[in-house]
Amino acid sequence: MAESENTRVLYQCSCGHQMELIEDIGGQCQECGHVVSPKLLNHDLATTMTLGTLPTGPACGGTLYFENSKLETDPVEAAKLEAAMVGREFGHFKIIDPLGTGGMGHVFRALDTSLRRYVAVKILRSGVDATKESSSDGDIEMLLQEAVSQARVTHPNIVTIYYVGKHEEAPFLAMELIIGKTVAELVEDGPMPYSQLHSIASQMTSALKFSHELDIIHGDIKPSNIMLQQNGIAKLSDFGMARRVSKAEKKSVGGTPNYLAPELMQGDTPSIQSDMYALGVTLFEMTFGRLPVTVSGRTVEQWLDCHQQAPVEFPNPWPEHLAKGWQEVLSRLLAKDPADRFSSWAAVEEALEQIEPAAPIPAKRVPRLVAAAIDCTLVGLLIAPFQILRGMPAVEEYLSQSTLTAIILLLFEFGAIVAYTTLVMFWKQSPGRKLMHVRVVNEHGLTVTGQRMGTRSLMRMIVMWFITLANVSSETGGWADFAANLVLTSAVVFTLLDIGVMMLYHHGRSLHDLVSKTWVVLDTE
């Protein structure tokens, strides 16, 4: 490919020197000698960086501008450097073992010798690798900003900052040690269960709502910045990109490109809506194990184009194990236009409450049987007038001579059962269950869809359907009479089997519950 066909990238090295590179070729910093590989920019789309907005937008004449504070480090060399840190003391924090490497530096488990507790200590790269130049003012400012912003937000779902300081000119901060995994690590094992998705979404919404009340935008929400403890409590960390809502400006925007809101790439002012977009991408990735948009093209310019314009790729049909309202929440969080997202974190909370998985109390067998008996009786009362009419000698003789009238009468009888089933579909409840204070829910404890409720009602009322059909068929005699008896017998067998499964199954679920994937629970609403 000719050089003119390549996207030219204005890249700022961690030493502060700016240089223009060709994306597929890379280059070397003339100031510090750092080699920028051709894969660096594409790799950095999944890491935190600063995206400088150009006067005419993020893509100006094929040139993009990235400031990157993360250097490519040989994993073996990094492990040696981290091992050499074990036993060293930073203030009253003694390094125990390495936990990982972040965008700005290394994170270690350490012992707070003053309070005799374990903490996590983040140290800038220059404090770990003596071959690196002293930390830039920007890195130090970012670390201090992370400490100050995060320390202000005292919330159960935000990692607590304990201390920030310097040791031999190496800036570091000490924070709460989380025993668990990052959401990024969990996503590697595949999509998460809906109950866990909803729990993390609710916890992060609560944390971000509280941050906004303190005038703080996080600015870098992504799976690797969310820790999940073994007890299920989620913790948001890394406020290095945080800024005051009231002081947000149209300047270089920090964040991780895959999670940056489209308007930020066009130079708009950061807002809570931009944090909502990042949370939406994170939740989508947790739900389906992939990003919401498939990027086509190899250049950063093509990536930006796709990120800003391509529609969200929801699965079709929507998976049954996910609440339908979950798609609506994700759609609003991921809207390209910030005006189409939620107006506040309180609105997100309200939307999540409507689709919260419940753990209802299963209904006992006796109330279920009584509810079914009531419903069958009501359906029987609906078709009884037609059965009585059909049994009158004069009407019976007339029907034997008029096939059309017999069919019309049959349709009326079936229509009574259809009317009842339709009522249950739209009401999501039946008279019998209402009287016995029980209701039908799906696997998440939420009210089932009308379609599933209708299917369930058809199976539940199967004996009534077949009784009507058998009565009509028996009037013709012969083989039709035999078929009617066979159908009626089958319906009775199915009903007995349905009740038998309910009596024997340890959760008290009937056969039509298992087929329709529903549960009958106490109605406490």
Mean per-residue pLDDT, 348-359: 89
- For residues 27 and 79, give the distance between their C-alpha atoms in angstroms, rounded to a whole number: 26
Q: For the chain, first and last CA: distance in Å?
A: 66
Task: Name the band, by pLDDT with cuts 50, 70 and 90, for residue 55.
Answer: very low
Mean per-residue pLDDT, 111-120: 92
In contact, 219 and 242? CB cutoff 8 Å:
yes
- What local confidence, expressed as pLDDT, does residue 518 receive? 86
* CA dist 119 → 4, 178, 318, 507 (Å): 51, 8, 43, 45
In contact, 150 and 242? CB cutoff 8 Å:
yes
The whole-chain average pLDDT of the chain stands at 76
- For residues 494 and 490, give the distance between their C-alpha atoms in angstroms, rounded to a whole number: 6
- What local confidence, expressed as pLDDT, does residue 152 receive? 74
Query: 233 or 131: which carries more pLDDT confidence?
Result: 233
Task: For the beta carbon of residue 181, count every other beta carbon within 10 angstroms.
Answer: 16
Task: Name the band, by pLDDT with cuts 50, 70 and 90, for residue 51.
Answer: very low
List the one residue out of 351, 332, 350 whose CA is nearest residue 341.
332
List the one residue out of 401, 402, 421, 409 whose CA is nearest residue 383.
409
- What local confidence, expressed as pLDDT, does residue 297 receive? 56
- For residues 411 and 401, give the distance between their C-alpha atoms in angstroms, rounded to a whole number: 18
In contact, 238 and 225? CB cutoff 8 Å:
yes
Q: Is the pLDDT of residue 15 over 70?
A: no
Q: Is the pLDDT of residue 403 over 80?
A: no
- What local confidence, expressed as pLDDT, does residue 347 receive? 97
518: helix, coil or strand? coil
Query: 31 or 223: which carries more pLDDT confidence?
Result: 223
Q: Is the pLDDT of residue 71 over 50?
A: no
In contact, 200 and 226? CB cutoff 8 Å:
yes
Residue type, 145: Q
Q: Is the pLDDT of residue 59 over 50?
A: no
Query: 212 or 252: which carries more pLDDT confidence?
Result: 212
In contact, 355 and 330? CB cutoff 8 Å:
no
- 506-513 contacts: CB < 8 A, separation 24 or more? 507/362, 508/362, 508/363, 508/364, 508/365, 508/368, 510/368, 511/459, 512/456, 512/459, 512/460, 513/456
Lowest mean pLDDT among 36-40, 205-209, 373-377: 36-40
Cα-Cα-Cα-Cα torsion 366, 511, 516, 483, nearest 10 degrees, comes to -120
Query: 423 or 120: which carries more pLDDT confidence?
Result: 120
Residue 441 parent element (H or E): strand 438-441
In contact, 522 and 371? CB cutoff 8 Å:
no
- What local confidence, expressed as pLDDT, does residue 478 receive? 47
Lowest mean pLDDT among 303-312, 383-392, 431-440: 383-392
Which CATH superfamily hosts domain 181-354? Transferase(Phosphotransferase) domain 1 (1.10.510.10)
List the one residue out of 309, 301, 221, 298 whose CA is nearest residue 263.
309
- What local confidence, expressed as pLDDT, does residue 348 receive? 97
Q: Is the pTM of this model over 0.85?
A: no
**What percentage of the chain reaches a pLDDT higher than 90?**
24
Token code pair at residue 499:
């009740």
Residue type, 47: T
Task: Name the band, by pLDDT with cuts 50, 70 and 90, for residue 396.
Answer: low
In contact, 30 and 19? CB cutoff 8 Å:
yes
- What local confidence, expressed as pLDDT, does residue 435 receive? 92
Mean per-residue pLDDT, 419-439: 87
Q: Is the pLDDT of residue 244 over 90?
A: no
Mean per-residue pLDDT, 142-167: 78
pLDDT tens sequence across 270-302: 889 999 999 999 999 999 999 998 766 555 666
- What local confidence, expressed as pLDDT, does residue 77 receive? 63
Give DSSP secondary structure letters for 220-280.
---GGGEEEETTS-EEE---TT-EEGGG--SS-EEE-GGGS-HHHHTTPPP-HHHHHHHHH
Domain over 75-176 is classified CATH 3.10.560.10: no
Is 122 annotated to bind a ligand? Reply is: yes
Query: 508 or 109: which carries more pLDDT confidence?
Result: 109
- For residues 275 and 270, give the distance between their C-alpha atoms in angstroms, rounded to a whole number: 8
65: helix, coil or strand? strand
Q: Which residues contact 190 (CB under 8 A, 6 or more apart)?
A: 289
List the one residue out of 71, 155, 133, 63 whose CA is nearest residue 105.
71
In contact, 70 and 94? CB cutoff 8 Å:
no
pLDDT tens sequence across 457-485: 877 777 666 666 655 555 545 455 555 56
- For residues 135 and 104, give the distance between their C-alpha atoms in angstroms, rounded to a whole number: 9
Mean per-residue pLDDT, 409-430: 80
pLDDT tens sequence across 442-454: 877 777 877 788 8
Lowest mean pLDDT among 152-166, 292-306, 331-345, 371-385: 292-306
Task: Name the band, by pLDDT with cuts 50, 70 and 90, for residue 268.
Answer: confident
Mean per-residue pLDDT, 88-105: 83
- What local confidence, expressed as pLDDT, does residue 49 receive? 45
Task: Name the band, by pLDDT with cuts 50, 70 and 90, for residue 385.
Answer: confident
Q: How do the domains of the chain map onto residue ranges?
A: 3-67, 75-176, 181-354, 365-522
Per DSSP (E only), the strands in 46-116 are 49-51, 63-67, 89-90, 93-101, 105-112
Task: Name the band, by pLDDT with cuts 50, 70 and 90, for residue 360.
Answer: confident
| Lateral strand order in the sheet of 49-51 | 18-22, 8-12, 63-67, 49-51, 253-255
